[in-house]
Amino acid sequence: MVATVLRLRFTTTKHQLQREWWRVLVLVGGAVWAASLLPSTWWASRALEQQNAGVRGDALAAISAILILGWVVVPVLITGLDDTLDPGRFSSLGVAPRSIMPGLTVSIFLTLPSAFFLIVLAMLAMSWRPDGSATLAVAFAWAALTHATMVLSARVSVAWTSRVLQSRRAREAALVAILLGALVATPVAYAVVAEGLDTILNIDVPALLEALRWTPIGLPVAAVSAAATGEWWSATWRLAASLAWILLLHGVWRANVAYTLVHPTYRGGGARARDDAILAAAKRSEAGRLRRPGSAQRAVASRARRYWFTDPRYLSGLVSVMVFPALFFTLVYPIFGSPVAVVVAVPVLLAGTIGWARHNDVAFDSTALWLDVVSGRLGREVMRGRVAATLAWAVPLVTVAGLAALGLAGRWDLAPAEFGAIAGVLGTSLGVSAMSAVALPYRAPAPGENPFSAEVGSVGAGFLAQVVSSISAWIVAVPVTLPLVAAIRWDARIGWLGLVLGLATGVGVLVVSTRWAGRLYDRKSGRLVTAVA
């Protein structure tokens, strides 16, 4: 069975490379990038070889933690780049988990990222040569155990993230947990950065590394350090504990594979009866209470608003748009001595990320797109409805953020300039995204699928759309922020000009963009369905 699984995987990969040229570019580019890092890795290994065992152990513990964190997070975000390891592909064959697991286990280690990081860890393990051959053997055991932990952690994170987000209650709980985590992490990160680099390096980092040695991540490194000092019993039980952790990870992954083989789709239908806002609107329309112009726009807006509270793809997008402004404030605010410009820039950045994030908005509604298309030439109403659904929550959010920034900065005289810039950036970025969603669509995860995945065959188109939309949004957004800069630097009364300019530009660009996008929507409706389905 192992040979069968490997043959299927390599055959599938070969066909994908022949059919989709962008995969070849990613493969070649990744190989070149990996090869370019090997000399610096060898230099780092030689540099660590000159250090004492304590410094060497701390460095390798930090490297292990960073690598494992990357292997946990990155595969979740780019799952669609390699779907040949998806156990759901075997669900129709009726195979048992015990038959397929050996083949899948071997397959996950036979990938280019896996091979590259194994080489990197082996080169870093060579830094223990001065401590003798026995210690070097334990160091190679560290490399093997850390490598296995990374690869299995990636499988577990991808499998269980996808599975958890299919349950409505689970994804609501996950959203609450993420929001609470962000609220807690932001002041904590700010306090850490505000302490200063010396305090972090001399107090916080050593304490963190010491605690890390007692976790599954740091146990193999601690085993090498123990072997270097002759504490072989300590090294033995740490290696055994690390091996037990790897077996536990494999068991967790195996449980998910067993579930996937009998539940190939993760579409949670819900267990409770709920009111259908869209169906209720349609019934009222039939009764004559909504028979007036614009009912199509309201129907689309009602449907899209529902997504923002129930669809994990939209919920994850709602959280992600807050990440960059929060990081900007956390990292830049303490460094520059709490300037007013940094504080008032956060809501403007938030408005820009909200607008730009909708650059592929039409594709997220792929399952309902055909209904809009066959209902007639309703492109303008569809685009206005989708924009209205975003504005319904974006306007209150950026308003609260703007008021909080002005209060924190103590500059209420900048309110006209601040809200003018917010309105201008939000309107222009949403307008650019409306045009990009129709002109440069690419496939997005379907409802019920992993919201962080990259759809097969969409990476090239997605990269082009993101680059074009981000540059366009930046070009049209910069002019509306200049009055805010002038108000901070010279005279706050300039902000009234910024308020007028921001509102006029934001509303104007949004109206013109949705009208243009609506006309294009009607012209290419058939091709649009094909592009995003």
pLDDT tens digits, 60-92:
888 888 888 888 877 766 654 455 666 766 766
Interhelix angle for 494-523 vs 525-532, to 10°?
100
Percent of the chain whose predicted confidence (pLDDT) is above 70: 73
How confident is residue 199, by pLDDT bands cut at 50, 70 and 90?
low
Judge contact between 405 and 347, C-beta under 8 A: yes
Q: Does the pLDDT value for residue 167 go beyond 70?
A: no
Q: How far apart are CA 259 and CA 253, in angstroms?
A: 10
Q: Does the pLDDT value for residue 267 go beyond 50?
A: no
What DSSP state is assigned to residue 452? T
How confident is residue 406, by pLDDT bands cut at 50, 70 and 90?
confident
Q: What sign does the CA torsion over 210, 214, 216, 222 have?
A: positive
Q: How far apart are CA 436 and CA 319, in angstroms?
A: 22
Counting beta carbons within 10 angstroms of the beta carbon of residue 113, is it exposed (0 to 12), middle (13 to 18) or buried (19 or more)? Answer: middle
pLDDT higher at 117 or 212? 117
- Of 148-162, 179-193, 279-293, highest mean pLDDT: 148-162
Which amino acid is located at 140 in the chain?
F
Q: Minimal CA–CA distance to 174: which of 319, 365, 358?
A: 319
Q: How far apart are CA 324 and CA 304, in angstroms?
A: 24
Question: What pTM does this model have?
Answer: 0.61
How confident is residue 284, by pLDDT bands cut at 50, 70 and 90?
low
Residues 6 or more apart in contact with residue 244 via CB below 8 angstroms: none
Ranges of H-type helices in 263-378: 277-286, 295-310, 312-320, 323-335, 340-356, 366-374
Q: What is the mean pLDDT of the chain?
A: 76
Q: How far apart are CA 123 and CA 160, in angstroms?
A: 32
Q: How far apart are CA 471 and CA 359, in angstroms?
A: 12
Query: Which H helix or E strand runs over 527?
Result: helix 525-532
Range scoring the smallest mean pLDDT among 211-220, 288-297, 376-385, 423-432 = 288-297
